[in-house]
C-alpha cells in the first residue's frame, strides 16, 4: 500500500503534520506555564492572618468628604507652578533662583 518514501514526499505529511503538532502541543504547554503563573500569584497574595489584622488597624479610614474639606482649605489663587531643573542645568543654582523669585 503506502510506501515510506511516498509519505516522505507528501507535502502535507512533511510540513502540515509537524505544524499541527506544534500548534496543538504549544497550546497545552502554554496552558501549563500560565497555570504556574497564576498559582504563584495566589501564593504571594496569601498573608498571615495576624499580619493582615495589623495592616488593617494601621490604615486610617479616610473618607472622600474629609479629603475634599482639606482641599477646600488650600488657597489655589496664589499657587505658582515651578518646574524642576533640566538635566543640563545646575540644580542648586536653579533652586536658589526659584526661591528668590518666589519671595518677590
Give pLDDT, residue 27.
92
Q: How many domains does the chain have?
A: 1
85: left (phi over 0), alpha (psi -120 to 50) or beta: beta
One digit per residue, the tens of pLDDT, for the chain of length 104 reads 568 788 788 888 888 999 999 999 999 989 998 898 888 888 777 767 777 677 666 666 778 998 899 888 887 787 777 777 788 877 788 778 777 876 65
Rounded to an integer, what distance in angstroms lies between the CA atom of residue 24 and that of residue 48?
A: 41
Extract the C-alpha cell encoding 20: 499541527
User: Does residue 102 contact residue 82 with C-beta atoms inside 8 Å?
Assistant: yes
Residues 6+ apart with CB under 8 A from 48: none
The domain in which residue 96 lies consists of 4-103
pLDDT in tens, 42-72: 877 776 777 767 766 666 677 899 889 988 8
Give the residue carrying C-alpha cell 518646574: 83
Q: How far is CA 50 from the centre of its chain?
A: 28
Amino acid at each position: 500500500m503506502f510506501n515510506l518514501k511516498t509519505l516522505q514526499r507528501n507535502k502535507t505529511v512533511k510540513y502540515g503534520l509537524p505544524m499541527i503538532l506544534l500548534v496543538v502541543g504549544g497550546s497545552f504547554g502554554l496552558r501549563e506555564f500560565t497555570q504556574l503563573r497564576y498559582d504563584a500569584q495566589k501564593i504571594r497574595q496569601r498573608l498571615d492572618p495576624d499580619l493582615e489584622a495589623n495592616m488593617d488597624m494601621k490604615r486610617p479610614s479616610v473618607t472622600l468628604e474629609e479629603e475634599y474639606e482639606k482641599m477646600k482649605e488650600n488657597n489655589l489663587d496664589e499657587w505658582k507652578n515651578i518646574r524642576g531643573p533640566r538635566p543640563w542645568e545646575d540644580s542648586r543654582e536653579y533652586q536658589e533662583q526659584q526661591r528668590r523669585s518666589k519671595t518677590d
